[in-house]
Amino acid sequence: MLPGVIGVMMATEAIKYIIGIGEPLIGRLVIYDALGMKYHELKVPRDKNCPICGENPVITKLYDDYDAAAENPETYAPAAD
C-alpha cells in the first residue's frame, strides 16, 4: 500500500508540473509517516554546486547516446527508465 500512496503523490506532482497548476513540490521535501499518518515538509535549498541545476552545470544531456556518453561520460546523466 505504501508504494501506491507515494506513487500517486509523485504522479500528481508530475501532472501539476506538466500542466502548470497548483504549487509544485520544488525546493521542498515531503516526508510521509505512515505509522503516525502524518506528513512533514522540509525546505530544501538549491545547491549552487549541483552538477545538473547549479550555477555551472557539467551534466547537460540525458544518457541516450551510449557511444557519445562513453567518450565523454561527465557530460551525461543516466536517463530515467
Q: By C-beta, is 34 or 46 nearer to Zn ion?
A: 46
Q: Is 50 in the site for Zn ion (CB under 5 A)?
A: yes
Q: Is 44 in the site for Zn ion (CB under 5 A)?
A: no
Comparing CA positions, the residue from 23, 29, 26 lying closest to residue 41 is 29
Cell of 44: 530544501
Reduced 3-state DSSP string for 35-48: CCCEEEEEECCCCC
Number of neighbouring beta carbons within 10 Å of residue 34: 10
> According to CB under 5 A, which one of 6, 8, 44, 52 is a site residue for Zn ion?
52
> According to CB under 5 A, which one of 6, 34, 53, 79 is a site residue for Zn ion?
53
Which residues form the interface with Zn ion (CB under 5 A)? 50, 52-53
